[in-house]
Amino acid sequence: MRPLIGISSYGRAGQRQTFSVPCEYVDVVRLAGGVPVILPPVEGELEVLDAIAGLILPGGGDVDPTRYGHSVRHEANYDVSPERDQFELALARAALARRTLPMLCICRGMQLLNVALGGDLVQHIPDHFGERVLHRRPERLPVTHPVRLEPESRLARLLGATELVVRSFHHQAVGRLGAGLRAVAWSPDGVVEAVESERHPFVIAVQWHPELDALGDPGPLRLFEALVARSREYRARRSTAA
């Protein structure tokens, strides 16, 4: 059986409000051999973690700065959803408590992971790092730029590379790292582009969007194949323990 991979949904939006995720996340999980399960915000206990074998925290709008101790919201912040923040922070912390549950965090997901572990965010990259490297177009469209990976990182070993050209569209970045995280990739302007947990066997977060290229490029697809493979192992261990 293929493992169930939970993907937390974007915040409610639209004239007739919906919870959704971009199709690329669903398609790449299917291509990698998993079964995607969309997780909208719920309250209370997170029994859904008993059902899934892996978790993706995807991109989307900005995390409310009050969640990481900033009292003033930058004018560039957009699509802030208190409902989504509350759910995903609880989901991330509950998932981290299951030390071997595999988790892949993308763009906002990386920032959310950092906040869940007590870190903070740079609210607007140009204010701190300038505009030598563009991380998105003004109309919130993706751009490509190089990143450098720590050679000894899990991410570099998984991708088989220490330098990449990636697609991203974000205006925020991780600042102070959360507990147990280490930076493992950087863009030329010094923005942290990936982090890994030192306390978990597979908790990897990237600031770029590998799902945009994974359907046609075996390189980015490796991230999702690794997540699915780890999820199979996680499910098998749980079945044996039961």
DSSP string, the chain: -PPEEEEEPPPPBTTTTB----HHHHHHHHHTT-EEEEE----S--GGGGT-SEEEE---SPPPGGGGT-SS--TT-----HHHHHHHHHHHHHHHHSTT--EEEETHHHHHHHHHTT--EES-HHHHHTTSS-SS-TTS--EEEEEEE-TTSHHHHHHT-SEEEEEE--S-EE-SPPTTEEEEEE-TT--EEEEEESSSTTEEEESS-GGGTTTT-HHHHHHHHHHHHHHHHHHHHHHHH-
For the question of residue 209 being annotated catalytic, the response is yes
From 88, 193, 196, 211, active-site residue: 211
As a whole-number percent, the residues of the chain with pLDDT over 90 amount to 86
Q: Which of 35-49, 129-143, 172-186 has the highest mean pLDDT?
A: 172-186
Res 139 pLDDT > 70: no
Q: What is the pLDDT of residues 195-238, one digit of tens each?
A: 999 999 999 999 999 999 998 899 999 999 999 999 999 999 98
d(CA 134, CA 86): 30
Report pLDDT for 20: 94
- Residue 241's pLDDT band (cuts 50, 70, 90): confident
Q: Is the pTM of this model over 0.75?
A: yes
For the question of residue 107 being annotated catalytic, the response is yes
From 145, 171, 200, 209, active-site residue: 209
**Helix 82-97 with 108-116: angle, nearest 10 deg:** 70
**CATH class of the structural domain 4-241:** alpha beta
Which phi and psi angles does 43 have, rounded to 5°?
A: -105, 160
Res 141 pLDDT > 80: no
From 105, 107, 170, 200, active-site residue: 107
Are the C-beta atoms of 204 and 194 separated by less than 8 Å? yes
For the question of residue 24 being annotated catalytic, the response is no
The domain locations on the chain are 4-241
Q: What is the pLDDT of residues 13-67, one digit of tens each?
A: 989 999 999 999 999 999 999 999 999 998 877 889 999 999 999 999 999 999 9
